[in-house]
Amino acid sequence: MKAKYYLSISEVCVLLNIRDSTVRKLIKQDKIKTFRLGKKHIIPKSHLEGFI
C-alpha cells in the first residue's frame, strides 16, 4: 500500500478531531499550509506536525 503524503480537509478534521470550519479558519490564518488542486485544498502531512 502506498503511503499518503497529502490529506483533504475532511481527512484533517478526522485526524485532528476538529470541525471543518476550524480547519478552514486555520488555513485562512496561514497556520495550515495548503495547495490548490482545482477547487480542492490538499494539505501535506508534513505541515501538520505542529498540530499532532
Model confidence pLDDT, tens digit, residues 1-48? 567 889 999 999 999 999 999 999 999 999 998 999 898 889 998 888
Measure Cα distances from 16 to 11, 38, 45, 48, 51 in Å.
9, 24, 12, 9, 7
Full-model pTM: 0.79
Spatial distance between the Cα atoms of 26 and 4, rounded to a whole number of angstroms? 22
